[in-house]
Homo-oligomer: A and B are copies of this chain.
């Protein structure tokens, strides 16, 4: 089973066919960065249209069992998530509404301070806000998973403590391996994984040691060492693949409507756009390379199967339903 727990591509029939070619059974796709509720609904509508147009390639994913159905039918199940809480605006009632529409992951912040927590680019991290505590409780109740990929450290550790259900880092790598601002320090990964949560390894070049030149062996060794350290069942893939996106989209991610000045985030004025993917992971067709690379590290077949998809499957099965 292969599950990629984060992509934000410029979706097309070509990409959906590549998912099938790469035998990807499920993908968690981002459908909101800075969109408000109504704009996010338009993004759900767009996906409904794609499900109608490409019924042989993709199918809506709401529960882990939809992955079994997708596999039986030879399709990829698409699960939805937000990288920012902007879709719920200032209305806690929207948490259950977006879950009803299919949202399964929501970041409490995207780089900046939000109504709920502090983002990883702020100078000061004041942790989870008053509204943040209420929203985490509501997300726990309905089965919307807290994602802290773009959050600051204290906020992440507090979220892991406050949340009564496991939280995740859908897409990031260990800071010890590659000290990018977005990569996660040991105490952060430990707080998330010890509370039953997971981390998805990112293949976004800014998160990789050596960037676009990172080798498959280096990447897979980092995965293997991280699995040894935090548990082989605590690690998956969250590639952060942004295939076929124009550079204007990375600018939307970074500045949305919150600034009139450009913020280059993980890029720079000299390299403002999307960096090229490493040759061994161009797109969805290349998940077999990662699987082969993980086996070459000496990991057991069972551990490789868990990291490639089994671990996320188990996580989905336990965390998308309302609290009993």
A residues adjacent to B (C-beta < 8 A)? 37-38, 41-42, 44-46, 48-49, 91, 93-94, 96-97, 100-102
Q: How far is the CB of A43 from chain B (nearest CB, A)?
A: 10
Residues in B whose Cβ lies below 8 Å from that of A101? 97, 100-101
Residues in B whose Cβ lies below 8 Å from that of A93? 42, 45-46, 48-49
- Find out whether the CB atom of A94 lies under 8 angstroms from the CB atom of B38: no
Docked complex Cα distance between A37 and B44 (Å): 14
> Chain B: which residue is nearest A89 at the CB level?
B38
- Contact sample, A vs B, 6 pairs, CB 8 Å cutoff: A41-B94, A42-B93, A46-B93, A97-B101, A100-B100, A101-B101
> Chain B: which residue is nearest A102 at the CB level?
B100
Docked complex Cα distance between A123 and B88 (Å): 43
- Find out whether the CB atom of A97 lies under 8 angstroms from the CB atom of B38: no
Residues in B whose Cβ lies below 8 Å from that of A41? 37, 94, 97
Residues in B whose Cβ lies below 8 Å from that of A91? 45
Residues in B whose Cβ lies below 8 Å from that of A38? 37-38
Residues in B whose Cβ lies below 8 Å from that of A42? 93
Residues in B whose Cβ lies below 8 Å from that of A49? 93
Q: How far is the CB of A251 from chain B (nearest CB, A)?
A: 26
> Chain B: which residue is nearest A36 at the CB level?
B38
Residues in B whose Cβ lies below 8 Å from that of A45? 91, 93-94, 96-97
Residues in B whose Cβ lies below 8 Å from that of A48? 93, 96-97
> Chain B: which residue is nearest A141 at the CB level?
B52
Docked complex Cα distance between A38 and B102 (Å): 18
Residues in B whose Cβ lies below 8 Å from that of A102? 100
> Chain B: which residue is nearest A45 at the CB level?
B93
Docked complex Cα distance between A97 and B97 (Å): 11
Docked complex Cα distance between A96 and B44 (Å): 10
Residues in B whose Cβ lies below 8 Å from that of A97? 41, 44-45, 48, 101
Docked complex Cα distance between A49 and B94 (Å): 11
Residues in B whose Cβ lies below 8 Å from that of A100? 44, 100-102
Docked complex Cα distance between A46 and B91 (Å): 12
Residues in B whose Cβ lies below 8 Å from that of A46? 93
Q: How far is the CB of A257 from chain B (nearest CB, A)?
A: 19
Docked complex Cα distance between A226 and B33 (Å): 56
Docked complex Cα distance between A12 and B222 (Å): 58
> Chain B: which residue is nearest A46 at the CB level?
B93
> Chain B: which residue is nearest A51 at the CB level?
B96
Docked complex Cα distance between A322 and B45 (Å): 16
Q: How far is the CB of A292 from chain B (nearest CB, A)?
A: 39
Q: How far is the CB of A44 from chain B (nearest CB, A)?
A: 6
Q: How far is the CB of A24 from chain B (nearest CB, A)?
A: 24
Docked complex Cα distance between A38 and B91 (Å): 12
Q: How far is the CB of A91 from chain B (nearest CB, A)?
A: 7
